Amino acid sequence: MAVKPKVTNGSTTLGPAANEKDAEKLRFIEDMTMNTDAVQERVLAEILSRNAETEYLKRYKLDGATDRETFKAKLPVVTYEDLQPDIQRIANGDRSPILSSHPISEFLTSSGTSAGERKLMPTIREELDRRQLLYSLLTPVMNLYVPGLDKGKGLYFLFIKSESKTPSGLPARPVLTSYYKSEHFKSRPYDPFNVYTSPNEAILCTDSFQSMYAQMLCGLLQRLDVLRVGAVFASGLLRAIRFLQLNWEQLAADISSGTLTKQITDPAIREAVTQQLRPDPELARFITKECSKGDWACIITRIWPNTKYLDVIVTGAMAQYIPTLEYYSGGLPMACTMYASSECYFGLNLRPMCSPSEVSYTIMPMMGYFEFIPLDADGTMCNGAQTQLVDLAHVEVGKEYELVITTYSGLNRYRVGDILRVTGFHNCAPQFQFIRRKNVLLSIESDKTDEAELQKAVTNASELIKSYNATVVEYTSHASTKSIPGHYVIYWELLIKKDKTKNGKSGTIPTELLDECCLEMEESLNTVYRQSRVADCSIGPLEIRVVRPGTFEELMDYAISRGASINQYKVPRCVNFPPILELLDSRVVSTHFSPGLPKWTPTRSN
């Protein structure tokens, strides 16, 4: 079936491989991308034949068919909410083959939420191998562009999160927590191109302070070996820089004395770090000199001068962090290497050193079966689009699509919620620019708050000011990333009726009550938001900025002056356009911050 790519001496259309091991991986990429459609047909047939006896495929009377036509004719395109009853049964312990014929090994908790809780994605053991396969392609591609990565190390800030168990006892945890805790990661064979400064023990600690402290300390100790600095998402790397700003004195003190601070109590971390730590007053003086200036421009290249690039995702919601990262790194290239989700790992960037605005991901056809809902130029679904999904090999350059996946773990025609635009092809495999996530209004890191969630939060908080005869007449929001961690800013325009309420209150609302409204809003937001606030400290306290009466009318006037139709004008529930933000900020009469942390526990409420 496979057309053999033309390869001579380890050279492919991607470029000459750095070594024979890389050549094999690059040939694999070539093979997959030259035979996209055939691989997709095989993947679908494999998934459908192995799952033929599952309740789900039987429910839709697939009758053992494994061809695309029958599959498309009989199976509906679904969302998480459609599958939730089946997923809940699995979580409650039903071991019968509901979605997958293979046993469900664990649940991956997506950062996408449903009814305020992380979505639970059932997965099977062999998916780890598939994810590992995609990871194994990243370095051979990077080696095409950046030589000499085997001469040093990567300073990667990697973290796990706490996990819970479903009623049936299966672990429920984020996909990266599952991966870092797996033998694939923990017992990975030595690869000179992939040596990390962070000990596994530091990565595998759920206490985010101790984990970060140890990873930063080891990065500082090995600073001259570091050739690349990274985290999964841009927000994670900025958190690390913020951590350095707050903790450099203690870090320098530890390095100077060669002893680890008592704040690190995890015995495994203590042992791993102590092995590296020797008194090094010269390094401590250097860190003190660089960090005490109060000037953080180019801090990455000042501390880690051999860094060739940053390895972080800055596409999608992370694009907002590009200017800050440029400031801290003095404009180092930012490599976005991979596009993946809890449901399925999708693909990789075959030109990882390109500028962030040009990043396109090549979906690898062996990872799952991929279909695409065509969207109109205004981002809405084309007429009849739900019934006319396009196959991976047949998408068209320049068009936008919503991604629909069928996975080995048992998702069939599942809408991920990502909107992608086709930018070109590598061989026969399309390359996609990540455009946006559907229905996401606010995002600081992995949190995704949609319009309905924001509305609910505003409604709940405005209950608190009711007794002052006050209502929120209009609101909008902005994810502020000016300072790290970023935080949500909600602009409120209030209407306070003059007549006294039953309990005699009227006039001004006490400041503390508006502060409380911030916390009430946070309590109403989804679990990923609250976890980021409480456990990860990666989102700062929510802020309400009260604007003076009439501000939202001015906003409308402004929009109309720029061509909006009066009839169709709707208040934008999130604003990013600088002139509008300036207008809002110039009308602020008071600002309020959440005085505490919202409630969050690792256990799910459903």
Beta strands in 144-253 (DSSP E): 153-157, 164-165, 171-173, 226-233
Least distance in Å: CB of 501 to ligand AMP?
44
Residue 190 DSSP one-character state? P
Region of 68-76, 207-215, 334-342, 504-512 interacting with ligand AMP (CB under 6 A): 334-342
Strand ordering across the sheet containing 400-406 = 338-340, 345-348, 361-363, 429-437, 414-426, 400-406, 369-375, 390-391
Q: Is 342 in the site for ligand AMP (CB under 6 A)?
A: yes
Which of 17, 75, 240, 340: binder of ligand AMP (CB under 6 A)?
Answer: 340
Q: Is 385 in the site for ligand AMP (CB under 6 A)?
A: no
End-to-end CA separation in angstroms for the chain: 47
Region of 246-254, 323-331, 339-347, 519-527 interacting with ligand AMP (CB under 6 A): 339-347
Which of 313, 375, 390, 454: binder of ligand AMP (CB under 6 A)?
Answer: 313
Q: Is 227 in the site for ligand AMP (CB under 6 A)?
A: no
Least distance in Å: CB of 528 to ligand AMP?
8
Least distance in Å: CB of 110 to ligand AMP?
4
Closer to ligand AMP by CB, 348 or 544: give it.
Answer: 348
Closer to ligand AMP by CB, 221 or 405: give it.
Answer: 405
CA-to-CA dists, residue 354 to 162, 309, 337, 358, 533, angstroms: 35, 11, 10, 6, 33
Region of 51-59, 69-77, 308-316, 365-373 interacting with ligand AMP (CB under 6 A): 308-316
Which of 204, 291, 335, 416: binder of ligand AMP (CB under 6 A)?
Answer: 416
**Rounded CA separation 599/601 (Å):** 7
Site string for ligand AMP, 71-110 (x = CB under 6 A): ---------------------------------------x
Region of 31-39, 159-167, 340-348, 471-479 interacting with ligand AMP (CB under 6 A): 340-348
**Rounded CA separation 244/288 (Å):** 11
Q: Is 232 in the site for ligand AMP (CB under 6 A)?
A: no
Q: Is 575 in the site for ligand AMP (CB under 6 A)?
A: no
Region of 72-80, 138-146, 337-345, 467-475 interacting with ligand AMP (CB under 6 A): 337-345
**Rounded CA separation 538/531 (Å):** 9
34-65 per-residue burial string, b: 16 or more CB within 10 A, e: under 16: bbbebbbbbbbbebbeebbebebbeeeebeeb
Which of 418, 450, 516, 536: binder of ligand AMP (CB under 6 A)?
Answer: 418
Q: Is 419 in the site for ligand AMP (CB under 6 A)?
A: no
**Rounded CA separation 554/557 (Å):** 5
Which of 56, 339, 345, 414: binder of ligand AMP (CB under 6 A)?
Answer: 339
Which of 214, 221, 303, 336: binder of ligand AMP (CB under 6 A)?
Answer: 336
Q: Is 407 in the site for ligand AMP (CB under 6 A)?
A: no
Least distance in Å: CB of 559 to ligand AMP?
28
Among candidates 27, 24, 20, 43, which has minimal Cα distance to 346?
Answer: 43
Least distance in Å: CB of 339 to ligand AMP?
4
Among candidates 233, 246, 287, 212, which has minimal Cα distance to 483?
Answer: 246
Long-range contacts for 584-589 (Cβ within 8 Å, ≥24 apart)? 584/476, 584/491, 584/545, 584/547, 584/551, 584/555, 585/545, 587/547, 587/548, 587/551, 587/554, 588/491, 588/545, 588/546, 588/547, 588/548, 589/546, 589/547, 589/548
Helix, strand or coil, per DSSP, at residue 208: helix
Site string for ligand AMP, 160-179 (x = CB under 6 A): ---------------x----
**Residues of this chain, 244-303, that bind ligand AMP according to CB under 6 A:** none
**Rounded CA separation 70/68 (Å):** 6
Q: Is 335 in the site for ligand AMP (CB under 6 A)?
A: no
Site string for ligand AMP, 433-452 (x = CB under 6 A): -x--x--------x------
DSSP string spanning 538-564?
-SPPPEEEEE-TTHHHHHHHHHHHTT-
Work out the burial of residue 346: count CB atoms within 10 Å of its CB; fewer than 13 is exposed, 13-18 middle, 19 or more buried. buried
Closer to ligand AMP by CB, 418 or 520: give it.
Answer: 418
Closer to ligand AMP by CB, 152 or 236: give it.
Answer: 236
**Rounded CA separation 279/114 (Å):** 51
Least distance in Å: CB of 145 to ligand AMP?
17
Q: Is 231 in the site for ligand AMP (CB under 6 A)?
A: no
Residue 438 DSSP one-character state? T
3-state helix, strand, coil in the chain (%, to 5): 40, 20, 40
Size of the site for ligand AMP (CB under 6 A): 17
* Omega cis (within 30) before 485: yes
Least distance in Å: CB of 319 to ligand AMP?
9
Region of 38-46, 137-145, 336-344, 425-433 interacting with ligand AMP (CB under 6 A): 336-344
Least distance in Å: CB of 450 to ligand AMP?
13
**Rounded CA separation 200/180 (Å):** 8
Closer to ligand AMP by CB, 202 or 338: give it.
Answer: 338
Helix, strand or coil, per DSSP, at residue 229: strand
Q: Is 532 in the site for ligand AMP (CB under 6 A)?
A: no
Cβ neighbours of 599 (radius 10 Å): 10
Which value, in Å, is the radius of gyration of the alpha carbons in the chain?
Answer: 26
Q: Is 236 in the site for ligand AMP (CB under 6 A)?
A: no
Q: Is 194 in the site for ligand AMP (CB under 6 A)?
A: no
Q: What residue ranges bind ligand AMP (CB under 6 A)?
A: 110-112, 175, 313, 315-316, 336, 339-342, 416, 418, 434, 437, 446
